[in-house]
Chains A and B, each alone.
Chain A
Amino acid sequence: MSSEYLVEVEHLKQYFPVRTGFVSTTPLKAVDDVSFAIRPGETLGLVGESGCGKTTVGRSLLQLYQPTGGRIKYNGEVIYDAGDLDENGAPRVDDKGNPVKGKVKTVNMLPYRKQMQMVFQDPYSSLNPRMTVEDIIGEPLDVHKLYSTKAERREKVLSLMELVGLNAEHATRYAHEFSGGQRQRIGIARALAVDPRFIVCDEPVSALDVSIQAQVVNMFEDLQHKLGVAYLFIAHDLLVVNHISDRIAVMYLGKMMEMAEADELMNNPIHPYTQSLLSAVPMPDPKTARSRKRIVLEGDVPSPLKMPSGCPFRTRCRYATEQCAAQRPQLTDRGNGHMVACWNK
C-alpha cells in the first residue's frame, strides 16, 4: 500500500511522567495531539520556542521515545500504533465518550532506520570523540551491512565525505580536530550513509556562525535536489526555516497552532501566536526595524505541567475570550491547506 505521503503522523502524543510528590506523578504533555504529513522530497519546517515540543516530535517520530498515543505511517505502512485511534484516524471512544486505549502495535524499526535518519543540533556532543571520521560515517554501513569488502566501505565513506564537502584526508581524523561547520557536515554524511528518504534535522544550524550557517543551509538544499530526500526541519530561527521549507508548522506548548505554505505563513499569518512570533523576529534591516510595529507578548510560556485549559496560548493572547478557556480549538482548514487552531481568527 502506498500513499501520496512519505511520512504521516496522526494525533501523536508524547507524555513524560514527572514526579510531583512522594509517589504521585503528573504527565508532562510534551507533545499533545499533533498531526502532519510530509510528501517525498518535501521540507516541512517546524518552529516554536524552547519547550514547545518540536524536538520531541522529531524524536517520537523516529521512535527514539515510545509515543504515548497516535499512529505513525511510513510510506503508507503503519510503523507505530498506540491503539487509541480507529481505522479512519479518529480517536477511539467508548459509549460514554471516554477514550479507549487499545493494543500498542510496534514493528522492527531496523529496516526503517535505513529510510529515516536524524541530524542532531549539537555537532560537539553527537559525534563519538574516540572514533575517526571514517568510522563515524561507516558505522551505519556496518549496522545495515551495506558493503562486502573493506575497500568498498572505504570507497563509500570517501564518496559521502566528498558529497558533503569534506576532504578525503580528513577520514583518519577525530571529531575534535574539526570546526563546528565541519562537524555538522560529518553528522550529515553519517545520516546520508544509508541513503535515506527522510531526515529529521533537529536545529542543525543553530550552533553555527552566520557565514557557516549559510554554507550548511545551501548543502541541505543541494542534497535534497540531488537525492530527493524529505526533511523535517526543526529550528527556532524563522528566517532560516522560511528559507529552506516548503511548508511551515508552528507549535506552542506541545500543540500545533498553524500550518501553511511557507510564503503564505510569512505573509499572511492568521494565528495570534504566529503573528507575534513573526513580529518578534529582529529583521536584519534597519529601516524595517524602525518602521515595524512589534507585537510584544506579555509574560512567559506557562509551565507544561500546569497547562491552561482550552487553548494553551490564551494566557498571553490579546483576543482571548471565554470560549478559549472552555474549549480547545482544533486545526481547521482556512483554504489552500492553511490550517489554523484558533477560535477568534
Chain B
Amino acid sequence: MSEHLLSVKDLRTSFTTDNGEVHAVNGVSFNLDRGKVLGIVGESGSGKSVTAYSIMQILADNGRIAGGSVEYNGEDITKWNSRQMSGFRGKCCSIIFQDPMTSLNPVFTIGNQLEEAIRLHTNKTRAEAKARAIEMLTLVGVNEPAKRVKQYPYELSGGMRQRVMIAMALACEPDILIADEPTTALDVTIQAQILELMQDLQKKLGMAIIMVTHDLGVIATMCDEIIVMYGGRVCERGTADEIFYNPRHEYTKGLLRSIPSVERMKERLVPIAGNPINLLNMPAGCAFCARCDRAMKVCLDHVPVERQVGADHRAACWLNDLALKDEAEQRAAAGESAGAIQAATGWVKNQSGEWVFDPVAEEGGAEQ
C-alpha cells in the first residue's frame, strides 16, 4: 500500500499523425490522495484531457503511453493487460465527459445502461442491479427515478443526462472520479446544480476527484489543489489560494489577468499575446517562452525545472531560479559542492569568482 491513491510519474503520451509524432503530454507527474479534489487547468491543446485519458487508458487508436508510469495503490497500471484495465475502469476509477449526449448510447434506456455498468463490475442479479440503478438516480437528484430508467437519453435534458452520467460513474463506488469538462456544455444555472451535486457526493462518498477544465471559475469553486498545464507540461501546482493569489509562473499570471473579474470590471483586460502552442512544433526550451513577456535567453533552449516556491507550491519557470542567488550564496557558505548548488538553484561561480546564472536543465523538467 503506497501513501498516495494515484501517483502519476513522468507520464508521456504521444500520437502518431500524418504530420509526425505529436507529444501531447511531456512528462507530467502528480499525486492524488484519498478524498481530495485535484484540478487540472489549461487551454485547448495543453494536454489536460489526454492526461486524464492516459490514466484510464482510453486513448485514440493512434495514441500510446510513451513513457512514465501511473501507479494506483502502488501498482503500475500502465503494465496491466486489457482485462485488468477493464476491471480498473468503473470499479476503481470512472470518468465523466463533457457532452453527456454523445457519451450515452441513444438506443438503450437509461436503466439498461446503468445496469450494464453495475452488473459488469459486481455479481449482482438483474433485479438487484435495477434497484441499485434507481438508488443511484435518486442519489444524484433525478426526479421520478423509477420512470426515468425506462426512458432514452434523448428524452432527458442536458443537466439530467449529466446526472445520469455521474450516477453511472459512481454506481460501483470508485475511489477516483475523473471529470473531463463536466459542465462546459451546460448553462450556468444547471452548471451550479451539477457542481453542487459533485461537492455533495464527494463529501458523502469520499472519492477523490480529478477535475479537468479550462474554466478558472469552476476550478476556484471546486478544487483543493490545482495543476496548471501548458504544452503538455506542468507549469505550476499548488493549493487553490496559492495559485490564484500568488501565481509564480508567467502563464498562470497571464491567464488570471485575461479573465474579467468583478472588482476590476471596467479595466482593460491584459490578454496573453500570440496563439496557443502548436504541439507539432514544440520549442526546445520552455513551451510558453514564445508568448512570455519576460522570456530570457535560458528559456529558449532549456526546459525549466520545477522548483519548490512555497510550502504547497511548485512552479517551473526560470524566473523563479533567477531569484535564488541568495540561497546559492548561503549554500556555498554552508560548504555545499558547486555542482549541487548549481542543480538546486541554477547559480554557479565562474572562474573569476562571480556568481553567474547558468542552470542545468534536466530533461523533462519535473522531479518529484
Contacts and interface: CB of A to CB of B under 8 A. Distances in A.
B276 A212 contact: yes
Interface in B177-216: 187-193, 195-196, 214-216
Interface in B43-57: 43-44
Given A214-B269, A243-B260, A209 B220 contact: no
Contacts of A279: 192
B60 interface: no
Contact of A284 (B190, B259, B269): B259
Contacts of B296: none
Given A210-B214, A238-B188, A294-B196, A285 B265 contact: no
A172 B298 CA distance: 37
A215 B189 contact: no
Nearest to A47: B188
A186 to B, nearest CB: 14
B272 A214 contact: yes
B240 interface: yes
A211 B258 contact: yes
Nearest to B240: A286
Given A218-B269, A282-B220, A282-B221, A294 B192 contact: yes
A260 interface: no
B227 to A, nearest CB: 15
- Most chain B C-beta atoms within 10 Å of own C-beta, residue among A209, A296, A301: A209
B241 A286 contact: yes
Chain A contact patch, size range = 35 or more
B262 A297 contact: no
Contact of A236 (B159, B188, B255): B188
B169 interface: no
Contact of A283 (B160, B257, B258, B262): B262
A322 to B, nearest CB: 24
B214 A300 contact: no
A263 interface: yes
Given A210-B43, A284-B259, A284-B261, A297 B241 contact: no
A98 to B, nearest CB: 36
Interface string A218-250: 100100000000000000101110110000000
B266 A209 contact: no
Contacts of A287: 241
A279 B195 CA distance: 13
B132 to A, nearest CB: 25
- Highest count of chain B CB atoms <10 Å: which of A181, A236, A281, A282: A282
Interface of B: 43-44, 157, 159-160, 187-193, 195-196, 214-221, 240-241, 244-245, 254-262, 265-266, 268-273, 275-276
13 contacts: A49-B190, A211-B271, A212-B275, A240-B260, A243-B265, A282-B191, A282-B192, A282-B221, A284-B259, A288-B220, A294-B196, A296-B189, A300-B157
